[in-house]
Amino acid sequence: MEKMIINDFGILAGNWPLVPDKPTLIFIHGAALSKGLWVGQVEALSDIANTIAIDLPGHKDSKGTAFDQISDCAAAVAQFIEKIQAPNPVLCGLSMGGAVAQELLISRPDLFSAAILMNTGARLKVFPFIFESIEKDYSQYLDLAVDFLVSQKKDKAKIKELMKDIAVTKADVALKDFTACDQFDVMSRLKEIKTKVMVVVGDEDNNTPVKYGEYLQHNISGAELAVISEAGHLTPLEKPEEVNQIIRDFLRKAL
């Protein structure tokens, strides 16, 4: 696995340069997070695909400033994918990253043959206490976030340690992310998505519950739904092996 900055984007890549005859999995993190969320996927899936996890603009190793609109994030990601000439790009986005993926599937259907929408929804209204907690004490918010987001059956202390590396360090970036999520709504546009889609959700996700995933499945033509048991909102960290197997199986069928 290689850590680099390419075209102002901080990335983790399973292999570099990209292999032309493999699909390219583009992993997009959630709000207040970074590319490190996807370490387990970037490594484990590099045998079947080019794997790239990105930091959105203004996050961790990426240059520029963070956006407070999902459409702006999506435009930046599309530009990056085109600049690196990613072969057969497949989106995989979690939560805010899933919103970015939906926006791209609607606005740039020419670019993508398949996508995985993970722990996300067509509308992402944010609980007011999240904004309040970030503004009051961002470091405390990160601890509270793990308690709220992760399955009760998981080792939360371990995930809190991981969050120290994965989360963004600036509260203003987190606030922009959640503002973008709060304003996001493509419920009326899902039927425009014609790409092959796999929807993934944890059965203990308090943030984007199973009904959000079911809505995506029912309103995106041909979409499949996978529900991961004993998993909350951070399924790539909580159940990496199951997430990887779902992605493997989906790619084999979809491409």
Model pLDDT for residues 156-170, shown as the tens digit of each residue? 888 989 898 999 999
Give the pLDDT confidence of 197-219 residue by residue, as tens digits: 999 999 999 999 999 999 999 99
Per-residue confidence at 64, pLDDT binned at 50, 70, 90?
A: very high
CA dist 118 and 217 (Å) reads: 12
Per-residue confidence at 60, pLDDT binned at 50, 70, 90?
A: very high
The pTM of the full predicted model, rounded to 2 decimals, is: 0.98
Give the phi and the psi of residue 224 in degrees, each rounded to 5: -105, 160
Question: What's the pLDDT at 116?
Answer: 99
Q: Is the pLDDT of residue 144 over 90?
A: no
Per-residue confidence at 143, pLDDT binned at 50, 70, 90?
A: confident
Give the phi and the psi of residue 227 in degrees, each rounded to 5: -105, 120
Per-residue confidence at 37, pLDDT binned at 50, 70, 90?
A: very high
CA dist 111 and 142 (Å) reads: 35
Question: What's the pLDDT at 200?
Answer: 98
CA dist 177 and 168 (Å) reads: 11
Question: What's the pLDDT at 168?
Answer: 97
Q: Which residues neighbour 224 within 8 Å (Cβ) at sequence distance 6 or greater?
A: 197, 198, 199, 217, 250
Could you tell me what percent of the chain has a pLDDT over 70? Answer: 100
Question: What's the pLDDT at 237?
Answer: 95
Give the pLDDT confidence of 20-30 residue by residue, as tens digits: 999 999 999 99
Q: Is the pLDDT of residue 154 over 90?
A: no
CA dist 64 and 70 (Å) reads: 15
Query: What letter does residue 19 receive in the DSSP assignment?
Result: P
Bridge partners (DSSP) listed for residue 202 = 228
Q: Which residues neighbour 20 within 8 Å (Cβ) at sequence distance 6 or greater?
A: 87
Question: What's the pLDDT at 6?
Answer: 97
Residue 157 and residue 182 in contact, taking contact as beta carbons nearer than 8 Å = no
User: Six-digit token pair at 233?
Assistant: 């909102």
Give the pLDDT confidence of 85-125 residue by residue, as tens digits: 999 999 999 999 999 999 999 999 999 999 999 999 999 99
CA dist 196 and 43 (Å) reads: 24
